[in-house]
A and B are shown apart, each in its own frame.
Chain A
Amino acid sequence: MLNINNLQVTIQDEKQNIKPILRGVNLSIKPGEVHAIMGPNGSGKSTLANVLAGREDYHVTEGTVALNNEDLLLLEPEERAARGLFLAFQYPTEIPGVNNMYFLRTALNGLRKRKGLPPLDAADFLMLAKSKIKEVGLDETFLHRAVNEGFSGGEKKRNEVLQMMMLEPSFIILDETDSGLDIDALQMVGRCVNSLRAHARMILVVTHYQRLLDYIQPDVVHVMSNGKILRSGDKTLAHELEAKGYGWLEPEVKS
């Protein structure tokens, strides 16, 4: 269970000006639910995703976030990961010199250790990685390359999905994973996310477009604008947005 209550967040820009980004977000996700957040550029969607994952650049001024009744904001990013939180990044980072497989294995065995499970040995890990990498449509050679280094935009997104499939998190946030993807890749993301849909798992899809939601049917759709959730509804809200754009909601911003 995720409970976000009146979350307010600011960021300091290069000129040291403090700029509010989230202006009181309220959101609850129950186990088994898939939620989508849509909204125009600059509305705060990605900020919300990053604040949940624990990025340091943001300053929480007000509000609370509870994941399974625990104060998420007090936890380090690695502790949040250990509680099952996973963010698929909008712009995955390149890490030169760090082997992708080594990175994945360190992450997976780190999480297993925290759960009191024995580490996977090299052979078992390799078998698992090889089967998962096939599912995301990457060649096995990507396991032996440096993390994301020289990957195309689409390959980076597939690598994010690979990590998600390997780590099997219980709270998944997809931050515009669909942007820059072709139809095949989009279908792959949909297929992988759907394969993880389970009664105990929470999924939050941040997206600009309704397209991805054809593959991942959300239980709840939220519209975010100017740091607030303006409206929530079922999946028909996404279709309505696709047809009308965000403009028709603007009066609600002003009121």
Chain B
Amino acid sequence: MSEQLPASIDDTLKMLSDGRYVADRSLATALYLALKLGRPLFLEGEAGVGKTEIAKVLSETLGRNLIRLQCYEGLDVSSAVYEWNYSRQMIDIRIAEAAGEEDRDRLEEDVFSDRFLIKRPLLQALELDLNGNAPVLLIDELDRTDEPFEAFLLEILSDFQVTIPETGTVKAEKPPIVIITSNRTREIHDAIKRRCFYYWVDYPDAKRELDILDVKVPDADKDLSRQIVAFVQRLRSMDLFKLPGVAETIDWTNALVQLDKIDLDPETVNDTLGTLLKYQDDIEKVKGSEAANLLEQVKADLAARS
């Protein structure tokens, strides 16, 4: 049931829109190249611009398994790659002892065999599914882990193989599709970036954001969507500490739909500003007269256009 990889940039765009993801052509190009040349795609950008979503959409539209590795500080081999099932190993040693097993080499081979290996995401990603397809591997928020783990990733990302000291090297028959995301809370080392195609996911422009709202919140009133997008776009040109991302726009629209609004008014904006801005300073700055001001401009703008 798996789909073929897209054959052109247009195909890639179509595949993404089938997966209800509205993408720039530049993103589709980077993604197409990554798929075609079998290289990881490194997505960097502010929180809430749809980086993780790309991996989900890929796995859905291509019919591949999605294997997700959420990074965190101190992520180590035993939670990212593999671990031995110690209790079963112990029992096995006891049984061998009781049975009078003398041959140490055989025992060791037995204890460190596949039966006792617990596979974690990175090792799972090297395996094919039942249809013989390689999975989509999402390494999410790589910046949250530390440099030693990055160094460990180098082997996996360039050769798609993992070395387990006790048993040997596991190599992927077909390389997985790798998507790496980062929020840039620190700089990722150049050695990792060198092995990937890099794409900076930016905030969308007004037209694209409207398309996104159309797809993601189809039951929102069209005029309301237009107002929302214009309002958010204006917010992004303001001097705020954290600009609202696409995820916030969608959240806000959903919230307004739930409140049965078909038109923005200053009071509603003030009440729901918390879904859009997540820093108290920013909310303080926008709330009240500034919001009313923005809204007035937005409405005048929209009226002038129609």
State yes or no: do A and B come from one complex.
no
